[in-house]
Amino acid sequence: MKINITQQDREGLSKVFENFGRKKTNEEVFYDLCFTILAPQTKFQNNIKVIQKLKELDFYYFGEAYEGYLGLEKLFQNIAKQNGLSCAELDSFLWKFYSGTSWEDFKY
C-alpha cells in the first residue's frame, strides 16, 4: 500500500523524531498503536486509563489477540518499509493525518 508522504511530512517526521534516543520494543509499539486507534474516539485521560488496564491485563500476550496482532504488525512493517519509513514514523504520520494536527503542533 503506497501512501502520499510529502517532503513537508518527511521534514515534520524528522523534527518529531529528533528527540527519540532509543528504539521501542514491539510491546511498546503495540500499546502505542492501541493508543492511536483509541485516540479519535476518547478523551486523552480515558485513553490513558484504557491503555493502563490493557497493560495490567498483559493484553499484548493475550492468546488469539496476540496472534492477530503479529499479523497486523507485519502488515504495518511492510507498509512502512514500502514508504521508506520506520514503524514509529508511519505511526506518527497516520496519527497526524487522522487527527488533523499540524507538524508545528504535533507533540509526541
pLDDT tier at 21, thresholds 50, 70, 90? low
Q: Say what the pTM is.
A: 0.45
Which pLDDT tens digit goes with each residue over 76-90?
889 889 999 888 888
pLDDT tier at 98, thresholds 50, 70, 90? confident
- Tell the residue number behind the cell numbers 493502563, with chain if given: 52
The residues near 33 (Cβ < 8 Å, ≥ 6 apart) are 76, 91
Which string of b and e fits 42-76 if b means at least 16 CB within 10 Å? eeeeebeeebeebeeeebbeeeeeeeebeeeeeeb
Q: Residue 53: its pLDDT value, please?
A: 83
Which pLDDT tens digit goes with each residue over 29-74?
788 778 777 777 777 777 778 888 888 888 877 766 667 777 888 8
| Structural domain spans, the chain | 9-16+25-99
